[in-house]
């Protein structure tokens, strides 16, 4: 008999600073830009859009 796998909740790690730095300079991407990209992308994944509201549904 096998024990069924039960999913476990994960806690998010520390938030990234939002900046990518290298010898050639640095790049910062504003949270609003990420939301504008992630929202429509999440709608394209079956089941993700129905999981929860908030920023993902702001158009």
Q: Cα(13)–Cα(15) distance, rounded to whole angstroms?
A: 6
Q: Residue 1 falls within a domain, yes or no?
A: no
Q: What is the Cα Rg of the chain in Å?
A: 17
How high is the pLDDT of residue 30?
93
Does 5 fall in a domain? no
Kind and range of the H or E run holding 39: helix 31-43
Which helix (H) or strand (E) element contains residue 26? strand 25-28
- Residue 4: predicted pLDDT: 62
> Is 6 a domain residue?
no
pLDDT score at 19: 76
- pLDDT in the model for residue 20: 82
57 and 41 Cβ atoms separated by less than 8 Å: no
Q: What per-residue confidence (pLDDT) applies to 46?
A: 80
Which stretches in the chain have pLDDT values below 70? Answer: 1-18, 49-59
Q: What is the pTM of this model?
A: 0.41
Instruction: Give the total number of structural domains in the chain.
Output: 1
Q: Residues 37, 10, 18, 54: is their CA dihedral positive or negative?
A: positive
């Amino acid at each position: 008999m096998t024990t069924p796998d039960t999913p476990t909740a994960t806690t998010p790690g520390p938030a990234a600073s939002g900046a990518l730095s290298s010898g050639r300079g640095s790049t910062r991407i504003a949270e609003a830009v990420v939301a504008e990209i992630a929202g429509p992308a999440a709608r394209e994944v079956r089941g993700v859009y129905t999981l929860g509201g908030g920023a993902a549904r702001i158009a």
